[in-house]
Chains A and B, each alone.
Chain A
Amino acid sequence: MMSAATIAGRVRAGELDPVSVTRGALKRLEERDPNIHAYLDADADAALERAEQVAEDAARGDDPGRLAGVPISLKDNIAVKGRALTAGSRILQDYHAPYHSTVVRRLLAEGAVLLGRTNLDEFAMGSSTENSAYAATTNPWDERRVPGGSSGGSAAAVAAGIVPVALGSDTGGSIRQPAALCGVTGFKPTYGSVSRHGLVAFGSSLEQIGPLAAHAEDAALVYDVIAGHDPLDPTTTPAERPSAYKTSASVEGLRVAVPEELLDETVEPRVLERVAAAIDLLGDAGAITKVVPKGRLAHVRLAVPAYYLISACEASSNLARYDGMRFGPRLEQDDLLGTYQRTRGSLFGTEVKRRILLGTFALSAGHHDAWYRKALEVRRLIADEFRALLQEFDLIAGPTSPSGAFPLGEKEDEPWAMYQCDALTAPACLAGLPSISLPCGLAKKGPYKGFPVGLQLMGRAHEDHRVLAAARAFEALRGEPERCALYGNEVAS
């Protein structure tokens, strides 16, 4: 499958018909999705109609845009006007978004073709996409394994070669971890660089929308399109956002920190092995890599509790609007209290209820200071440590996930084990930093033998373009990633 940049270039040049591109994607979806359940809905008619419109624009001589004719799939927590929006939850069954999210407006303005809603853990809470109320997505590398989560549908769709790019959202690792487990590139932008208007909120102070792509170049291209100040999201910053696509792809002279805290014993050794090799590759290409001894990120080991408490507190409030009063199903009882309790008690899944309870508890009278406030303070410590380290270094490198793709059901009944999946990705969210996961080969031995490993690069706030440029450089050094067992050369080629 062609890269997004190639598709857009050829559509703009009049050499490629967007309708045929979309038909191709829909055909692959039809063939492959029954095995992986990456999609909740293909929305084929709307995609084809849109592709025809882009074709007409191009035929008329109008510039159809930087993403002309590129089929892009959206995680089903991003609002598209008139289209179903479930967030993977029964509490939004049959809900249709009454407005466009800002990222969708931006994609459409550049000629993108929206293709399908991808599966996710309910309200983006999870690391395996098993928490979806509708289906569990499986990993295209092995249908018995998870694709990671919560943007597992988007990661699997890209890994299966259905679309070159998909959007996900990342609150504590939900773009990068599934990207790592599926062998694709996943980028979480700096907090405040992409509008959250139209993203179903989970952890408001942490999350960003970002691309998952087969090629780092496409992640940069899509980032350029979706990033920008938005009056509809007061947390977007007015700061200038240099083009990531146009920044020259080089790691020469970049100072790269490799903190020992991110390489500790909780990370699978065969994962570390691949990551170490990738870091060596960066060094060979002229980056100044340096292992930073323990101590500089002394509090990063507390990222998981801090992240879970803060996100759960915010979620307990963000999810209060799902009460059946103005939209969504309502399970009516004799009185108001009963109706609220039955609607929310029956239509939210277990993980969502667990987090709402955790967050409500941590904010409640008598516990607020010990849990919520404490988590905020620890967040501040972690953020300050990362900021300090990034004053000396341009990038921080390490593994994305402690493990590779694990078997379905393995951690389903162990919330605490599942939460550990975010140990290495949550810090960038707590600190608001841009962070990318790049495929860096397959584990050679151990429980994840033959499965992709992700290299994570983090950068300074508002230097998304640098992180993406380094990622493009790494991709060129690495060469084409190993192919996906299921779909042969088509993936990422």
Chain B
Amino acid sequence: MVDPEAVRHVARLARLGLQADEEKELVADLLAILEQFAVLNAVDTQDVPSDSVQPATAPEVSADEPESFDAAAADLLALTRHERGGFYLVPRILRDPPQHPGAEPPGAPDAPSPEQHPLPTSDPLPSEDGAGKR
């Protein structure tokens, strides 16, 4: 169910850098906790909906009118010292390029390409999932 490899995977997903001893301890904790929680599996929930216990309510929406918050934009930027010329400064992005609508199009003038992965050109690629299964 949970082994050190799974915990390492989850820690990476959650961007938690763990020391080796800490990781060992957390693996043991998670294992113990999930063992206790496994009691849930015995419950028959075949016909139970998993939707919110809060009932759907009337639309809570607000009008499309610009409105200023009680915080000035400049005050927000002042919350970090990693700031220059109105921008937040973030670590140079070398890998793990964005995969979402906000991503800069590759080749945009202000976006030099992220580190390139060589594109696989031939089969087989032993590291690919499912490569050996076909």
Contact = CB atoms under 8 A, between A and B. Distances in A.
B95 A309 contact: no
Contact of B15 (A235, A237, A309, A323): A323
Contacts of A326: 76, 79-80, 88
Contacts of B82: 325, 330
Interface string A409-435: 000000110010000000000111000
Contact of A96 (B18, B36, B79): B79
A344 B15 contact: yes
B14 A357 contact: yes
Contacts of A323: 15
A379 B50 CA distance: 8
A348 B48 contact: no
A383 B41 CA distance: 18
Interface residues on B, range: 35 or more
B85 to A, nearest CB: 16
Contacts of A332: 91
Given A345-B19, A371-B37, 19 more contacts: A81-B70, A99-B71, A237-B57, A325-B80, A326-B79, A326-B80, A336-B96, A337-B96, A342-B17, A354-B29, A357-B16, A357-B30, A364-B9, A373-B50, A378-B40, A378-B43, A415-B33, A416-B36, A432-B54
B96 to A, nearest CB: 6
Contact of A357 (B11, B58, B88, B96): B11
B91 A339 contact: yes
A329 B57 CA distance: 39
Interface string B6-46: 11011111111111001001100110111011011101010
B42 to A, nearest CB: 9
A33 B48 CA distance: 49
B91 A416 contact: no
B30 A361 contact: yes
B37 A191 contact: no
A335 B49 contact: no
Q: Which 7 A-B pairs have the closest CB atoms?
A: A345-B17, A341-B17, A377-B45, A98-B71, A340-B15, A327-B79, A305-B37
A429 to B, nearest CB: 10
Contact of B17 (A344, A350, A364, A432): A344
Interface string A375-403: 11111110100000000000000000000
A377 B30 contact: no
B71 A81 contact: yes
13 contacts: A231-B62, A235-B54, A237-B57, A305-B40, A327-B80, A330-B82, A337-B15, A353-B26, A377-B48, A378-B43, A380-B48, A416-B33, A419-B33
B43 A374 contact: yes
Given A98-B71, A380-B48, A302 B40 contact: yes
A154 interface: no
A100 interface: yes
Contacts of B10: 357, 360-361, 364
A457 to B, nearest CB: 21
A292 to B, nearest CB: 21
Contacts of B92: 335-336
Contacts of A364: 9-10, 13
A191 B54 contact: yes
Given A342-B17, A357-B14, A416-B33, A374 B96 contact: no
B90 interface: yes
A354 B95 CA distance: 27
Given A234-B60, A342-B17, A376 B50 contact: yes
A179 interface: no
Given A327-B80, A335-B91, A432-B54, A231 B60 contact: yes
A357 B34 CA distance: 12
B80 A357 contact: no
A237 B32 CA distance: 39
A352 B32 CA distance: 17
Contacts of B43: 299, 302, 374, 377-378, 381
Interface string B54-65: 100110101000
Contacts of A336: 90-96
A416 B32 contact: yes
A308 interface: yes
Contacts of B96: 336-337
B33 A348 contact: no
Interface string B78-90: 0110100000101
Given A308-B33, A381-B43, A345 B18 contact: yes
A374 B45 contact: yes
Given A336-B93, A341-B15, A360-B14, A374 B53 contact: no
B94 A335 contact: yes
Contacts of A337: 15, 95-96
Given A344-B16, A377-B48, A306 B53 contact: no
A81 B79 CA distance: 13
Contacts of A341: 12, 15-17
Given A238-B58, A381-B48, A325 B90 contact: yes
A415 B45 contact: no
Contacts of A419: 33
A346 interface: yes
Contact of B53 (A81, A339, A360, A431): A431
Contacts of B39: 302, 305
B36 A305 contact: yes
A316 interface: yes
A339 B7 CA distance: 20
Nearest to A382: B53
A361 B1 CA distance: 10
B2 interface: yes
